[in-house]
């Protein structure tokens, strides 16, 4: 399986830069003799950078470049070490925290999005029967969905947004929902990464997919043969698979996937009381019983919550909920006209509503003027998605559609699965307190369920997890205050772990991290971090905030 095409716009820009005789986009040396060479070729394009939704102040970047191949990454890391500044790859820039921020070299991933040939001759015998797919790190989940589908393959599970880069999603432990599945990082079988000193490592678990006797000591990348070292070590792999970008610049990964499949989504509008009774969905889930009294078991499931009761003064059982259950189908079934569209009105109407509201500005302005409208918007949103099935290819169902284009920000907190009911009902209490103080929700909030992960800093490390995502349209008055209060309250009361990207930077020291993830576990991660970042070249805003930046050498 050979893939060599590049994104059209990326290729056009690179060609245009060469024709102009200067690497104005940092895309590599020009054929012209006057083009900058060596370290100077990468010292371009500084300026301000913000997350994709412009939800935070951002950072002033010294150099912003678009590498195209592994050799470029090696040169940039070596150059940064000479300059004694940092290096970071942004992913798609969808994190609301400072995890992607760096004031040295900030690398854009869009020209590192090519699917790569898997060197099957290097695999262990037992790995040759696995469904494996190799790709450069900057590939978006959207583009990989298409590539995998063409190969008859699919991700085992995904979150609700496909614009993220695959490695950006993995390195922050982004996830979907369903207790049989871990985060995106759990799909990674091998990581090719440039670490301190410009050294290239291929990092795998102890019994990884590569046969050490057959690893040639180099990696081929776009005509270059780059020296590399195979590291098969559980400690290094578990640290590097959720590294927060602090252990190197990832060039490529090998993903474990599965044969392609379809999904049937059956959303149901219900109440928290119905879900948590003995025979309700949450009641069955917590008791380890079959999730369906009759019929097949759902493979994936999540619950969207209305923060407000259906009537004033109503208890937790009166809160409106949307139970989303998704069932795997091996092949395309017969589909009615309704099965082909999501919700009562379809994605086209959702798109019109998204753009008609100026990506949420109208909603924010309305709620700021009439706070009572916030709960009404949420109720309408949940009702519009309920009680109609949707059938499509797996990746089309995982992606939640045009609503992803709303300008929003938010947090996500991860709790022990056993605390699901207590967490949701405490959330209802806090939401009412916030409303009484003039802080209003504008969107439903969602519970997702994730299997435990081995990656040290994954939010679901060592335990099955329920996550609570709480978002807000940008521009809603005091929304940031409300989200910060949720983070602090849930950490204090439940020992909740914040998502590394969906967070407002509430953890201020490594001791804060240890209190939530465990001393020995975090020390194990730090040992790998200090080894791969020994020159401090991957120091960044997040490592400064946690007090773990390594002295630069």
What CATH number is associated with residue 404? 3.30.70.2520
Domain count, the chain: 3
Confidence at residue 405, expressed as pLDDT on a 0 to 100 scale: 63
Judge if 318 and 421 occupy the same domain: yes
- Say if 430 falls within a structural domain: yes
Question: Which helix or strand (DSSP H or E) is residue 209 part of?
Answer: none
Residues 387, 433 share a domain: yes
Is 296 in the same domain as 177? no
End-to-end CA distance of the chain: 42
Does residue 37 carry a pLDDT above 70? Answer: no
What whole-number percentage of the chain has pLDDT above 90? 73
- pLDDT score, position 45: 78
For residues 322 and 306, is the Cβ–Cβ distance under 8 A?
A: no
Q: pLDDT tens across 127-160, in order? A: 999 999 999 999 999 999 999 999 999 999 999 8
- The verdict on 67 and 124 lying in the same domain is no
pLDDT at position 546 over 60: yes
What pLDDT, in 10s, does the model give residues 93-140? 777 788 888 999 999 988 999 999 999 999 999 999 999 999 999 999
The 10s digit of each residue's pLDDT in 413-430 is 999 999 999 999 999 999
pLDDT: which is higher, 319 or 12: 319
pLDDT band at 362 (very low <50, low <70, confident <90, very high): confident
For residue 52, what are the domain limits? 8-107
Whether residue 206 is found in the same domain as residue 352: no
Mean per-residue pLDDT over the chain, rounded: 89
Q: Quick one: 14 and 153 in the same domain?
A: no
Residue 233 has pLDDT above 90, yes or no: yes
Q: Are residues 307 and 430 in the same domain?
A: yes
What does the pLDDT look like over 255-301, one tens digit per residue? 999 999 999 999 999 999 999 999 999 999 999 999 987 789 999 99
Predicted confidence band of residue 32 (pLDDT cuts 50, 70, 90): very low
Q: Which of 213, 237, 259 is the last residue of a domain?
A: 259
Strand ranges (DSSP E) for 338-486? 390-393, 408-416, 445-450, 465-473
Kindly state whether residue 552 falls inside one of the protein's structural domains.
no
pLDDT at residue 23 greater than cutoff 80: no
Determine how many CB atoms are found less than 10 A away from the CB of residue 255: 21
Per-residue pLDDT, 5? 36
pTM: 0.89
Q: State yes or no: pLDDT of 239 exceeds 50.
A: yes
Measured distance CA(60)–CA(78) in Å, rounded: 21
Listed in sequence order, the DSSP H helices in 179-247 are 234-240
Residue 31 has pLDDT above 50, yes or no: no
Confidence label for 165 from pLDDT (cuts 50, 70 and 90): very high
| 93 and 149 together in one domain | no
What is the band of 209 on the pLDDT scale with cuts at 50, 70, 90? very high
Q: Are strands 47-49 and 59-61 parallel, antiparallel or unpaired?
A: antiparallel
CATH at residue 75? 3.30.43.10
Residue pLDDT, tens place only, 182-196: 999 999 999 999 999
- 523 in a domain, yes or no? no
Q: Which of these three, 455, 471, 498, is where a domain ends?
A: 498
211 assigned to some structural domain = yes
Helices within 140-200 (DSSP H only): 141-150, 166-171
Q: Which of 42, 76, 107 is the last residue of a domain?
A: 107
**Which CA distances in Å does 27 have to 73, 170, 490, 539?**
11, 25, 45, 24
- The answer to whether residue 447 scores a pLDDT higher than 50 is yes
Q: What is the pLDDT of residue 403?
A: 66
Q: What is the mean pLDDT of residues 216-243?
A: 97
Does 69 lie in the same domain as 138?
Answer: no
333-360 residue pLDDT tens: 999 888 888 766 555 545 445 545 556 7
45-70 residue pLDDT tens: 788 877 766 777 778 889 999 999 99
Domain membership of residue 533 (yes or no) is no
Average pLDDT over residues 163-191: 94
pLDDT at 410: 92
Q: Which residue has the higher pLDDT, 152 or 9?
A: 152
- What pLDDT band is residue 24 in, cutting at 50, 70 and 90? very low
Candidates 470, 471, 443, 309; CA nearest to 385 is: 443
119 and 91 housed in the same domain:
no
The verdict on residue 17 lying in a domain is yes
């Amino acid at each position: 399986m050979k893939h060599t095409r590049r994104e059209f716009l990326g290729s056009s820009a690179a060609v245009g830069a060469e024709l102009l005789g200067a690497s104005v986009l940092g895309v590599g040396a020009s054929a012209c003799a006057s083009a900058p060479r060596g370290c100077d070729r990468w010292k371009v394009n500084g300026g301000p950078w913000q997350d994709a939704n412009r939800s935070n102040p951002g950072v002033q970047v010294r150099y912003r470049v678009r590498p195209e191949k592994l050799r470029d990454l090696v040169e940039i890391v070596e150059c940064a070490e000479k300059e004694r500044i940092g290096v970071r790859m942004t992913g798609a820039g969808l994190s609301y925290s400072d995890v992607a921020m760096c004031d040295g070299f900030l690398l854009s991933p869009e020209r590192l999005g090519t699917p790569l040939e898997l060197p099957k001759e290097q695999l262990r015998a037992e790995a040759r029967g696995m469904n494996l797919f190799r790709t450069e790190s900057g590939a978006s989940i959207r583009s990989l969905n298409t590539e995998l589908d063409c190969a008859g393959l699919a991700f085992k599970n995904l979150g609700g947004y496909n614009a993220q880069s695959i490695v950006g999603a993995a390195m922050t432990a982004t996830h979907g929902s369903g207790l049989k599945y871990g985060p995106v990082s759990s799909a990674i079988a091998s990581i090719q990464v440039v670490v301190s000193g410009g050294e290239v490592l291929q990092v795998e678990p102890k019994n990884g997919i590569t046969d050490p006797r057959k690893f040639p000591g180099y990696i081929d990348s776009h005509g270059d043969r780059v020296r590399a070292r195979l590291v098969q070590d559980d400690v290094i792999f578990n640290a590097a698979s959720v590294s927060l970008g602090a252990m190197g610049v990832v060039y490529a990964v090998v993903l474990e996937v599965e044969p392609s499949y379809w999904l049937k989504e059956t959303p149901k509008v219900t109440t928290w009381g119905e879900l948590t009774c003995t025979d309700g969905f949450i009641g069955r889930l917590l008791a380890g019983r079959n999730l369906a009294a009759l019929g097949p078991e759902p493979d994936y499931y999540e619950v969207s919550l209305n923060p407000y009761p259906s009537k004033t003064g109503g208890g937790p059982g009166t809160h409106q909920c949307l139970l989303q259950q998704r069932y795997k189908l091996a092949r395309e079934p017969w589909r009615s006209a309704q099965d082909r569209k999501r919700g009562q009105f379809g994605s086209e109407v959702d798109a019109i509503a998204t753009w008609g509201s100026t990506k949420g500005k109208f909603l924010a302005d309305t709620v700021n003027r009439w706070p009572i409208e916030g709960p009404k918007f949420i109720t309408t949103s949940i009702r519009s998605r309920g009680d109609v099935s949707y059938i499509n290819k797996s990746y089309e169902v995982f992606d939640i559609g045009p609503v992803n284009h709303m300008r929003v920000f938010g947090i996500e907190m991860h709790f022990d699965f056993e605390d699901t009911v207590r967490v949701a009902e405490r959330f209802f209490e806090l939401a009412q307190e916030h409303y009484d103080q003039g802080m209003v929700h504008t969107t439903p909030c969602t519970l997702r369920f994730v299997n435990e992960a081995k990656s040290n800093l994954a939010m679901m490390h060592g335990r099955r997890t329920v996550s609570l995502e709480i978002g807000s349209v940008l521009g809603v008055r005091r929304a940031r205050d409300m989200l910060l209060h949720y983070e602090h309250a849930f950490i204090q009361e439940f020992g909740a772990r914040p998502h590394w990207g969906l967070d407002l930077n509430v953890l201020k020291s490594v001791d804060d991290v240890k209190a939530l993830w465990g001393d020995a576990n975090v020390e194990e991660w730090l040992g790998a971090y200090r080894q791969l970042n020994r020159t401090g070249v991957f120091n960044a805003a997040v490592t400064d905030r946690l007090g773990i930046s390594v002295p630069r050498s």
